[in-house]
Amino acid sequence: MKKALIVWGGWLGHQPEEVAGIFRGQLEAAGFEVEVSDTLEAFADEEKLRALDLIIPLWTMGKIEQRLVNNVSAAVQSGVGLFGSHGGMCDAFRENVDWQFMTGSQWVAHPGNDGVNYTVNISNTSSPLTEGIQDFDVSTEQYYLHVDPAVEVLATTRFPVAPGPHSANKPVDMPVIYTKRWGLGRVYYTSLGHQANVMDIPVVKELSLRGFLWCAEGKAIAAAKASAGSEAAYTGMQDNQL
């Protein structure tokens, strides 16, 4: 049975406890053993983290000790998946650049605040994470992110929608959903999720579920590749000795 850890807290305006409940329900229905914690000390045991298949931080703003970031990073590098949504992962610890490097982006603005009507455009990729899903409209915060150029973008939204000083620039397509790698680990992020009702939208729930499963599968796939590589290396060595 795969194991997942959800850690919620920070600014409560994003309803992290309620979102944690939605995610827990989805994961348990998919056969995961799920632990939910409301303290960052859940990241204190590196070996325990390495034994997981999936880590889901739901912690907006706040501060985190460097040792805890190091533990999460080490676990993800070893193959543990990392899934995040909205400010719960990519506006989590504004002062910690190591966290931002691992997670792939940092929130900087949401012009128009909550209730902006915009379209999530599914990118033209061959990824099974978005297969069969069409563009859809939402009414929520539209995140403007500073983004790692290494990410693989799965969905975007067009800026500007709400007016602001950014409107003086040409239109830009901002990532809404992306993946990246951190060592052997898989990282998935969606900027959707200002409050629990957004994460409860059927298409958003489906995208989240696919993200959970993809992230959690990475550990076993990495282990299998490592084993195959070791066997190939061993076979090659034996052949050379003959």
Chain-centre distance for alpha carbon 169: 28
Ranges of H-type helices in the chain: 16-29, 46-50, 66-77, 87-90, 97-103, 196-199, 202-241
- pTM for the model: 0.93
pLDDT over threshold 90, residue 231: no
List the domains of the chain with CATH numbers: 3-241 (3.40.50.880)
Q: What is the pLDDT of residue 96?
A: 98
pLDDT tens string 86-128:
999 999 999 999 999 999 999 999 999 999 999 999 999 999 9
Which of these, 9, 1, 61, lies nearest to 39 by C-alpha position?
A: 9
Rounded to whole angstroms, the Cα distance separating 174 from 33 reads: 34
Of the candidate ranges 76-85, 94-103, 202-211, 219-228, the one whose mean pLDDT is the lowest? 219-228
